[in-house]
Structure 1
């Protein structure tokens, strides 16, 4: 798979994402559901702790990706939803460490599926 990143400006590099990514020579695309801070039994964990929830989101995402034969390096797009954009930005280092500048959308929302959830990230991966 070949990736061509398009970044007509420099500011997005500070946040660790790309404005656009063109994929060529790929064989597989994985569209994932949004991942949240849920345990293996489907219970929300780490209420009111954005950092711990973000870690759990990334752990759950890694589990889904790995189970499908992908990894973080294959993620080209993330859609992030949060009930508190400022608190998520305070913990953005966790997200930036996992990915190689995916294209990204970040939305502030009133609530997620369960009221305890603060962040949800939906990845798309390509191999």
Structure 2
């Protein structure tokens, strides 16, 4: 697989994403459903935004690894949150995770009216190999 990022500007670098990601010679693609702070027994978290973000990241990581992919090969990440204002102070947690795996991905963040039950943040990813 070949991966190329396209960044006409530099300001996105401090926000840990790329404007576009091109992939060629892909063996396979994994489209992950939105991962949120849901326990293995299916219970939705009622904890704070920071805890939910950490659990959503862990759940996304588990899905990707169980499928035989690597987080480093995430090329698209969509972030859904019920409050960008509440999520923003915890954004460094996501940035540290992105740096840990050297992920270079295109990103969209959307504030939504609601997520399932008590959930406040959901991460949807596409990974390639």
TM-score calculated relative to the size of structure 2: 0.92
Structure 1: gaps (5+ residues): none
Q: Spell out the pairing of 1:29-68 with structure 2 (5 A cutoff).
A: 29-45=29-45, 47-68=46-67
Superposed displacement of residue 98, structure 1? 2.3
How many residues in Structure 1 have an aligned counterpart in Structure 2? 125
Three-state SS of the structure 2 residue aligned to 1:70 is: coil
Q: How does 1:1-127 map to 2 (within 5 A)?
A: 1-45=1-45, 47-99=46-98, 100-114=103-117, 116-127=118-129
Measure the CA separation in 2 of the matches of 1:122 and 1:85: 16
Any idea what SS the aligned residue of 2:52 has? helix
1-side partners of 2:123 and 2:67: how far apart?
17
Distance, in Å, in 2 between the alignment partners of 1:12 and 1:61 is 23
Give the alignment's Cα RMSD to 1 decimal: 1.0
Distance 1:26 1:98 in 2: 24
**Counterpart of 1:91 in 2: which secondary structure?**
helix
Deviations 1:41-91 (A, max 9, x none): 11112x251111000001101110011001210111001100010221211
